[in-house]
Amino acid sequence: MFKNVILPASLLAGTIIGAGVFALPYVFVKAGILTGLFYLLIFSAVFTLIHLMYADIILRTKENRRFFGYAEIYLGDWGKWPAILITIVGMIFILTVYLILSVSFFNLVSQNLVFPDIYKILIFWLFGSLAVFMGINRLAITEFLITFGIAGIILIIFGYGFGNLGQAVSVSSFDLKYLFLPYGAVLFSLAGRTAIPALLGYFRNNNQSRLKAKVPIILGSLAPAFIYLIFILGILSLSETISQDSVSGLIGRLPLSILGLLGGLGLISLWSSYIVIGRDIKKSFEHDFNFPQIFSGLIVVLSPLFLYFMGFQNFLKLVGLAGGVFVGLESIFVVLMWRKASKLETPDKILNKIHPSIIYFLLLVFAIGIIYALLYSH
């Protein structure tokens, strides 16, 4: 049970749970708790299906490819290059999200040191960029630090807020104006496609059938929603005024030592994620575009800073854009690829037929979400 279900499910859940969680309490309060829970419930189910679809694409395809390679096989050249651009640009936006969020965690660590936010961003950017450039590989310890950091923050916040859960439950405002606000943040916080190849590889490396991955994918896709709910309740219990990044509003509500610990865990987690994603983008430039290593590294390290100075400085809008547009487009590609791949007759599959109405529903929801996210980001 542990080896075949819990361990691989935690690999997926650990990849999914990330910076997106910090946007959820604010959008839940703005749109209404029940509205937020509705989004969390529906899209947990949606992304469970998206992750199963992507696993099914990998299983049905004889060649071992990356996301772009599957797009080329099933959608042709018109699918490959947009898939590459969507993924790379989306990941660069995620790096920019980390830059902005690093300020909030710096503030928790250094409350007595007052210096401009841009210096905090540059310090975080410099250390992250050096790690990307120096070629620190994607190690298991990096993944552990990300998961440990986020899990630590969630447990501490819920632990401190546990005695005041009544306040969180009583927050039940509903505002039609903010009905679609949670969309991009929820997508951003539930997407975990990038972990699926590693999850399938886990079974192959242990000489087991990859078809056993179905249950771990379902559990690993649904577990983050429960963990997010714990975090949201903790934040709402601790603070009457919810900040966009969740943690800034905790200053004055928790002891300085605990705030410092939260800030440290947050910075470790963000920095580790920054390295992992930065290295992935760099490899993509080197392999998919045949760019030289130095040039690839420069693009990766300078792009987030460029976006920041171009005005992409609002945490919530950036999360909405990265989730609503780029995760939405990526999900559309998975659905379209699966439609083609599902026609291949093969014993290696974890999904059978899906009713066309579900396919069209997914495409429509993601398409509408992309339009909304683009309009909201301005």
Classified as helix, coil or strand, 349 is coil
Predicted confidence at residue 145, as pLDDT, reads 75
Are 262 and 268 spatial neighbours (Cβ–Cβ below 8 Å)?
Answer: no
Q: How confident is the model at residue 43 (pLDDT cuts 50, 70, 90)?
A: very high
pLDDT tens-digit map of 242-297: 899 999 888 888 898 999 999 999 998 898 888 888 888 888 888 888 899 999 99
The mean-pLDDT minimum among 127-131, 233-237, 238-242, 243-247 falls in 238-242
Q: How confident is the model at residue 320 (pLDDT cuts 50, 70, 90)?
A: very high
pTM, entire model? 0.91
d(Cα 216, Cα 209) in Å, to the nearest integer? 13
Which H helix or E strand runs over 33?
Answer: helix 33-60
pLDDT of 173 > 70? The answer is no
pLDDT score of 165: 62
Compute φ and ψ for 347, nearest 5 degrees.
-75, -20
Q: Which residue has the higher pLDDT, 347 or 102?
A: 102
Sign of the Cα pseudo-torsion (270, 275, 276, 279, in order): positive
In which domain, by residue range, is 180 found? 2-376
Which string of b and e fits 89-124 if b means at least 16 CB within 10 Å? Answer: bbbbbbbbbbbbbbbbbbbbbeeeeeeeeeebbeeb
CATH number (domain holding residue 190):
1.20.1740.10
Instruction: Please tell me whether residue 251 adopts helix, strand or coil conformation.
Output: strand
Q: What is the count of structural domains for the chain?
A: 1
